């Protein structure tokens, strides 16, 4: 059975701190790994990582895929209160590209 | 471009009642997903459509849940009869295709409360 694990499940930091969120997976025929940010509403897309694109960066956020270790990290530097959200990791396997989501990491950034 | 539309946004019903949710994906998106997200958990795939065909419904509780995507555009998800444990947010997502570079776009979700 495909499985995605995230750690930590919850994290509290202060503005300006740097955080690293972890995602590990066991899926059949890995195709892609996606990171989403979920505030009060639906998840919004952050990054997609594949075998041909194992590192992505956008502003203060960056992510790396380690296919050997079957894991990914999401880094957020100089955190702001607006970064407070649940960060979801989803992994796509098999041809149909259905995605298995992890439980998410709840990040709280205090002023 | 217009996003994924869902309705209703909120629904409160009593157990054993029926409920239906509607989703209209982004125009031209061939792949449509329904997810169930229980509070404190990540979304769980219920069903995936490719155009109007079902790709994966292995986690859909078929004794009470049904979904259809007639004409390969909008979709409905039905629960009949509802149980207390069905209380969750039901998310619809669409994607241009299985090899699209951005993954899914999510709708705002329908929050279902079963009393």
Tokens of B115: 């009393």
Distance CA A13, CA A87 (A): 15
Distance CA A88, CA B93 (A): 15
What is the percentage of chain A residues whose pLDDT exceeds 70? 96
Q: What is the pLDDT of residues B4-51, one digit of tens each?
A: 999 999 999 999 999 999 999 999 898 899 999 999 899 999 999 988
Name the minimum distance, in Å, from the CA of A95 to any CA of chain B. 8
Q: What is the pLDDT of residue B101?
A: 61
CB pairs under 8 A between A and B: 59
Chain A residues lying within 8 Å of B95, measured CB to CB: 97
Bond prior to A42 in cis (omega within 30° of 0): no
Mean pLDDT of A37-41: 88
Distance CA A46, CA B113 (A): 29
For β-strands A61-66 and A71-76, DSSP reports them as antiparallel
Contacts of B107 (CB under 8 A, 6+ apart): A42, B3, B4, B5, B6, B23, B91, B92, B93
Chain A residues lying within 8 Å of B91, measured CB to CB: 42-43
Distance CA B54, CA A74 (A): 33
Q: What is the pLDDT of residues A77-107, one digit of tens each?
A: 999 999 999 999 999 875 556 788 999 999 9
Contact call for B56 and A96, based on CB within 8 A: yes
Q: What is the pLDDT of residue B99?
A: 60
Note whether B11 and B110 are within 8 A (CB).
yes
Q: Using CA coordinates, name the residue in chain A closest to B38.
A: A103
Q: What is the pLDDT of residues B41-90, one digit of tens each?
A: 999 999 999 888 998 898 999 999 999 998 889 999 999 999 999 999 99
């Amino acid at each position: 059975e495909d499985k995605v694990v995230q750690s930590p499940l919850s994290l509290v930091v202060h503005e300006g701190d740097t955080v690293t969120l972890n995602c590990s997976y066991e899926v059949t025929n890995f195709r892609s790994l996606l990171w989403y940010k979920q505030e009060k509403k639906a998840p919004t897309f952050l990054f997609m990582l594949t075998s041909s694109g194992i590192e992505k960066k956008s502003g203060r956020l960056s992510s790396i895929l380690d296919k050997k270790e079957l894991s990914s990290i999401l880094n957020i530097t100089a955190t702001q209160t607006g970064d407070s959200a649940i960060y979801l990791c989803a992994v796509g396997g098999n041809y149909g590209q259905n995605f298995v989501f992890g439980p998410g990491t709840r990040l709280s950034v205090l002023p | 471009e217009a996003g994924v539309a869902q309705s209703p946004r909120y629904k409160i019903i009593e157990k054993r009642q029926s409920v239906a949710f509607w989703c209209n994906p982004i125009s031209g998106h061939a792949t449509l997903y329904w997810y169930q997200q229980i509070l404190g958990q990540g979304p769980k795939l219920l069903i995936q459509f490719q155009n109007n065909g079902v790709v994966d419904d292995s986690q859909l509780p078929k004794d009470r849940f049904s979904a259809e995507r007639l004409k390969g555009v909008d979709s409905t998800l039905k629960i009949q009869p509802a149980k207390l444990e069905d209380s969750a947010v039901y998310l619809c997502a669409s994607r241009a295709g299985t090899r699209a570079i951005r993954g899914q776009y999510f709708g705002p979700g329908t929050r279902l409360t079963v009393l």
